[in-house]
Amino acid sequence: MLQQLVAYAETHLTESEPGFKSREIRWIVELAADGRFLGVVPLGDGKRGKSLSRCPDMHGMNAGGKAHFLVETAQTAVSLFKANEDPKKIVTAEVRHAFFTRLIREASEPIPRLEPLAALLEDTERLAMVRTALAAQKAKHSDWMVWRIADFDPREDGEVQAWWRAWRAGEMSATAMDKLNLGATSPDDDSMICMLTGKSVKPLATHPKITGLSGVGGLAMGDVMVGFDKAAFCSYGLDQSANAAMGEEAVQKYVDGLNDLIRNHTRKIANTLVAHWYKDTIPVEDDPLVFLMGMESQEQTAAAAQAALRRLLDAIRSGQRAELGDNRYYALTVSGAAGRVMVRDWMEGRFEELVSHVKAWFADLAIVARDGNSQAHDPKFMAVCGSLVRDLKDLPAPTAATLWKVAIQDLPIPQPLMAQALARFRADLVDKDQPAFNHARMGLIKAYFVRLKPGGDTTMTASYNPNHPAPAYHCGGLLAVFANLQRAALGDVGAGVVQRFYAAASQTPGLVLGRLAANARNHLAKLEPGLAWWYEERIAEIMSHLGDSAPRILDLEGQGLFALGYYQKLAELRPGKKTTVTAYVINEQGAQA
């Protein structure tokens, strides 16, 4: 996984280098060539700043009152504090500001173009002007800021970057010599084999933090992917991250790679972030995981995703898109916990397999629309997740992660998820504030049965299958006919046969459907002869599939088949469905079509 993050950085983040990192910058402070303060320019969209690369970073060396070079927070750079700040924190921040100022002054000696900035930082009156301008734009003390001197951007200047590399190398050498003088092992004896490159390196003691996980349990200041801060995590007397030896360059690449993916290529699923990418970049319109999550540019029509994925798969297998045949996908699910990055899942495989699996996901979920006239739209992934709970915010992260893996790897749907969908279906049948039939939910129940058998179950069709072998399925269809018959005879009676008898009928159909069949005779007597005959024919057709009697008791899978039979038969009886008996079909409100 870490090696693939390194490969991603090498391909997409060519500027990744130890001592530099990308930061979310909120403000640019502009100065004239003579050092006059010109103003403050905001970056970003007003909610988030703009990600800028090549920001000098003091990782591992900024303790003890030190600050980052050139790019810092408003508090450190210009002493902007929040109201009622703790006096102790102000003292600490002023120490960091003094270091920041000294570092800029030191760099300005070989690089005269930095002189205006160094002079401003040493001028209390002009610093106050900067603070006033930032406060007027409601800048926060924690916002990061950069500088522009006339048309000179120090952050992007090669001479400034070279000075920073040299200063940093000297600081690191001085730190190593200090340890040696204190009796530590010689740095030359600390080399180990890097887990990511296989080269002999001095392992980085602590790794830079991963940012952007604050919305999924992480800390605002960042979380550590690889760290050993407890004795129980260490082995063979090794300290800190020497327990997973990685060189500084490789560490910087995996950190930059993951930070870039989190910022630009993730989707939130429950309380996790899912990042996905490919070995070779592909167009968005060919990305099967974009279809899985839901098309962003347009509303999906019925079977739109299936059709697009089928065309893509055919193109790969026929050789028309041969370049995709050797491509690979990578999918990483992460969250934060107590300052650490929690890797919830990692998947990788061939691109062709991914297309095939996502296509199968949509095919298995395919279900007739509630109006009975067409197939329901291919559901977005979060719609399938949301069908299991009353409110999407109640969705447990493990449930979403399980469904995500099922979809990508073409796995069977766990029975507890089918049971959860079935429970929501039963609850919504009697809750007038909820839609009675959720397409994604019914598709998920159907997909459970399709995936029970290797190669799929061909008897599980999108619409009602009159030849389905399971009596439980036809018991559900029979209840749908009884419910429709009641509406035809009595109109809207409030709590009808479904609200009163569905729960019992779906669990013990042999004990309930007989009573409903007897009561159906009373309803038939209230109809005109032609319509009564049509309903008698529908009841007889279904009864013929039940044999001598309906099952007395249904297990969980039987109840799922019952729900599918009920829904699909009800859709078949909808008034909008074009059949020769449309004139006899009664709508949900009891009005004759």
**CA 565 – CA 466 distance, rounded (Å):** 9
pLDDT digits (tens, 9 = 90+) for 214-265: 999 999 889 999 988 777 778 877 888 888 899 999 999 999 999 999 988 8
**CA 347 – CA 329 distance, rounded (Å):** 8
CA 203, distance to chain mean position in Å, is: 33
**CA 515 – CA 559 distance, rounded (Å):** 19
Region of residue 346 (left: phi > 0; alpha: psi -120 to 50; beta: else): beta
**CA 303 – CA 309 distance, rounded (Å):** 10
Asked whether the CA dihedral 430, 401, 272, 300 is positive or negative, the reply is: negative
Residues 318 and 361 sit within 8 Å (Cβ to Cβ): no
Question: What pLDDT shows up at residue 560?
Answer: 95
For 126, counting Cβ atoms within 10 Å of its Cβ (0-12 exposed, 13-18 middle, 19+ buried), the class is: middle
CA 61, distance to chain mean position in Å, is: 34
DSSP state of 20: E
Regions of the chain where pLDDT drops below 50 = 180, 182-187, 296-299, 577-593
Question: Is the model's pTM score more than 0.85?
Answer: no
Inter-CA distances, 95 with 72, 124, 197, 544, Å: 14, 15, 39, 88
Question: What pLDDT shows up at residue 178?
Answer: 55
Question: What pLDDT shows up at residue 589?
Answer: 34
**CA 138 – CA 342 distance, rounded (Å):** 34
* Three-state SS letters, 260-329: HHHHHCEEEECCEEEEEEECCCCCHHHCHHHHHHCCCCCCCCECHHHHHHHHHHHHHHHCCCHHHCCCEE
**CA 351 – CA 483 distance, rounded (Å):** 47
**If DSSP codes are grouped into helix, strand and coil, which group holds residue 33?**
coil
pLDDT digits (tens, 9 = 90+) for 496-510: 788 888 889 999 998
Count the Cβ atoms, other than its own, within 10 Å of residue 462: 20
Residue type, 496: G
Question: What pLDDT shows up at residue 593?
Answer: 33
Q: Which helix (H) or strand (E) holds 52?
A: strand 50-56
Residue type, 163: W
**CA 145 – CA 141 distance, rounded (Å):** 10
Strands 266-269 and 272-278: antiparallel
Maximum CA extent, the chain: 106
The pair of structure tokens assigned to 343 is 């890797």
Question: What pLDDT shows up at residue 362?
Answer: 93
**CA 280 – CA 324 distance, rounded (Å):** 8
**CA 38 – CA 155 distance, rounded (Å):** 19
Q: Which helix (H) or strand (E) holds 380?
A: none
Residues 335 and 535 sit within 8 Å (Cβ to Cβ): no
Region of residue 86 (left: phi > 0; alpha: psi -120 to 50; beta: else): beta
Question: What pLDDT shows up at residue 186?
Answer: 46
CA 58, distance to chain mean position in Å, is: 31
What is the distance between the terminal CA atoms of the chain, rounded to a whole angstrom? 60
Question: What pLDDT shows up at residue 392?
Answer: 86
**CA 354 – CA 405 distance, rounded (Å):** 11
Question: What pLDDT shows up at residue 592?
Answer: 36
**CA 55 – CA 354 distance, rounded (Å):** 37
